[in-house]
Each structure stands twice: as C-alpha cells, then as structure tokens.
Amino acid sequence: MTASELALRAKAVAAEGPLRRRLFLFALLATVFDGAEITIVSYFIPALTQHFPIAASDVVRTLMYQNLASLAGGLLFGWLGDRFGRRWTLCATVLVYGLSTVWGAFATTFAAFTWSRVAAGLGIGGEFGAAFAIFNEIWPTKSRGTVGGVVQAMFVLGMLISTVVSYLAFGWLTFSWQGAFLVIGLASLAIAAGIALFMPESPLWEADRARRRSGGPKAVAASPLLEILAGARLGLSARAALFAAGLFYASYSINTFLPSVALSALPRGTATLVLVWAQLLVGLAIVATGWLADRWGRRPAALAGLAIAILAYGAYWVVRQGEVDPAYWRSSVFWTILAIQVGTGAFGVIGVWLGELYPTRMRVTGENFGYYVGRGLGASLGPYAAILVAPVPRDALGLGVVGAALALVFAASLPETRGRELAELDREPTAEAAL
C-alpha cells in the first residue's frame, strides 16, 4: 500500500467521528428536500388547473416529464459523481432543483412552469445516488440497513413538509401556490450552500481514485454507464431498475392520486390530516423495513413489505367506493390506504441494496440508473397510464397493485447483500462474483 493510500485509509478511519456525522447530516438534508421537491406539484393540482387554466391530466403529464427528466439527470450526475466526487455532485443537484423551483414560482405560463419542472427533474435525478453513495461509503455494514432506512425516510419527511406548506398556502397564511414553491426552492438553495461550505468528500471514493491513479484495478476505467450495462452487470442493472419501477408505481399511485381523492371527499384541513397520517406511517414502515434488512436480509425484508402492499391493494379494490366522511377513521378506505403505505415501506432497503451491488468507481451511476429508470417508468408513466385507463382518481389509485406485483417478482431475482463490505467490491474478482 502506497503512502497516499495509507493517508487516505487513515482519513477513512476518521469517519468514525465528526467526519461521518457531517456526511450523514448532509445526506439526510438533501434527501428531505428531494422528497419535498418531487411531490410539491401533486399537492397543487387543483390550484394549477385554476391558475393557468388547464386540465388535471396536463399537470399529471408535467409530472411525467419531470420524472423522465430525472432519468437524464440521474445518468448525468451519476457520471459526475463517479468521476469527480460525491460532494460537488450532490451540491450541484440540490442547486439545480432549488433554482428551478424558484423559477416555477414566477412562471407566468403553464409552458414555462412545465419547463421549470423539467429542469427541476434534472437536479432531482442526481440527488439519490450521490447522497446514498456518501452514506453507504461511511456507515458500518452491521447497521447500514437500519440507518439507511432512516435516510430513506427523510424523503417522506420532505413529502410531509410539502403537505404542510400546501395547507398553509391555502390556509391562514393564504400566500398561494407560488409562495409554497418559493419557500421550498429557497430552502433547497440553503442546503446547497451548506454542502458547498461544510461537507467533506467521501474517503472511500478518494481512496479508490488514488488506487486507480496509481495503476490499481481498472486504472483506466470505461465509462461507469457502459460498465453497469456490460456483461453480467447488464442483467443485474435491468433487474434492479424493474424492481424500483414496480416499487415506485405502487407508491406513487398513493402520492399522485390520494390528495385528489381526499380533497374531493373531505374539508381541506381533514384531508391534510389524512395525508399526514399516511406519510407518517410510511416513514415508520421505511425505517422498520431497514431494521429488518439488517436482521433478515435485504431481499426478505423487501419481499415482506411488497406482499403486504399486494394484499392491501386487493382489499382497497373491494372497498374503494365506500363513503369517506370527516370521521375518516371509520372508513375502510382509509385503513386499506394505510395498509398499502405499510407495504410500500419496502423503500427502506432500496438505497442501501442498490449501493451494495456496485463497486465504488460506478456506485453513483449504478444507484442512479436503477433508481431513476425505476422512477421514470413507475412514478411517471405508471400514474399517467393509470389516469388514462381509469379517469376517476379512486380507480386509478388502485392500479398501483400492478407495480407492487412487478416489484415483488424482481426483488426476488436480486442477489442478497447483507453483511457486504463495500471496500471488498473494489477488488475485481469479488466484484464480479457478486453478480
């Protein structure tokens, strides 16, 4: 081992203390505002249709464009994260979606608003891989699933922030949807500034770069994107993306259509409370699934959640036409939706599981490919196709069962990675054997 590698190894050991805490903090914060950014539009569909004026399907189509743009952003920022480091890549992604959301707040036409969401999608597309690469590379293997579930649950906290901001926008503050977008956008810009000023680089990425520059494995590496789509990794990456696509569709059927379903049947304050309950429950389920992933394994934990989601969606189809009144806790529809949310807590394994499939030199690209191809297919095309097949939101919501079934099939096909040391993946024979 060279002197430079020894120095970097010592720096990695230092991650046990303050360095790890700082990296962890910024991974959390970036994930919070990723959740707020990606869901903010869904809470203002009625307001946007009145403001511009347009049909609800036009807003859903804009959401589709945003999510498809996140795929392009995932590939771009994945390459940047693997080539130039996690720190500045994460900073750039948060900066892009923060600026784009501020732009959307001042859009005077729906076309301008749509372009602002496409630009936001590019930035949103890079956040997941960079944040989870940082987390995976500094957290101990034995508790990586549990704490990774906490990081993933921060996405739900971001959704909760969007819910509260949307309520305030039409509640006692009455500062309109534009004000809500401005608040979320400016908060994201503050996080980007914090990353630029205070966040260090991942020690594992620095060590891997030093090893490759000194002539170690893959000293002259191919493009990370070409590597994850070559040989045995092509099948692995495809299965990971289809698992994510199904999981996103199962979850985003709730995220996209539940606000409209709740607002059509309940006063705004009560509807907001229902959404808050649903988000709190899925956040807890995500953390619980991460905890189970450290005890049962990544695959069994995901399969258990998805089985619950399929059963709950089946129950929803039976009761979906039931009446929902202000005493929502007496409604069977409310309880089946909560059960679906428990099942989609399978998201608690996705960030850690995807990161443990790829070596350091292609980790951000690999994570982003699976996550954002999945999001593009499941969170955009899925709900858009559902509203075309079933124009009534209550019915469109129930089609999320297709996504849960798809995710279950492909989760069963992915390799188990519990206990895997990421540094071992950077040794070529082990990396290939893991496929």
CATH number of the domain bearing residue 289: 1.20.1250.20
Give a yes or no: residue 10 inside a domain. no
Structure confidence at residue 220 (pLDDT):
46
**57 vs 38: CA distance, rounded Å:** 17
Give a yes or no: residue 8 inside a domain. no
Instruction: State the chain's mean pLDDT as an integer.
Output: 84
Domain count, the chain: 1
Q: How many CB atoms lie within 10 A of CB 23?
A: 24
Give a yes or no: residue 6 inside a domain. no
Give a yes or no: residue 17 inside a domain. no
**Each residue of 167-201: pLDDT tens digit?**
777 654 455 888 889 988 999 999 999 999 988 88
Give a yes or no: residue 379 inside a domain. yes
Angle of the 401-411 helix axis to the 232-265 helix axis, nearest 10: 160
Domain that holds residue 142: 26-433
Give a yes or no: residue 15 inside a domain. no
Distances in Å between the alpha carbon of 18 and those of 11, 13, 200, 205?
11, 11, 11, 18
Q: Has residue 401 got a pLDDT over 70?
A: yes
CB 205 within 8 A of CB 85: yes
Which one, of 241, 244, 249, 242, lies nearest residue 340 by Cα? 249
Q: How many CA atoms lie less than 13 Å away from 363 in the CB half-sphere? A: 30
Q: How many CA atoms lie less than 13 Å away from 59 in the CB half-sphere? A: 21
Structure confidence at residue 171 (pLDDT):
57
Give a yes or no: residue 14 inside a domain. no
Give a yes or no: residue 176 inside a domain. yes
**Each residue of 248-306: pLDDT tens digit?**
999 888 877 777 777 666 776 777 777 778 888 888 999 999 999 999 999 999 999 99
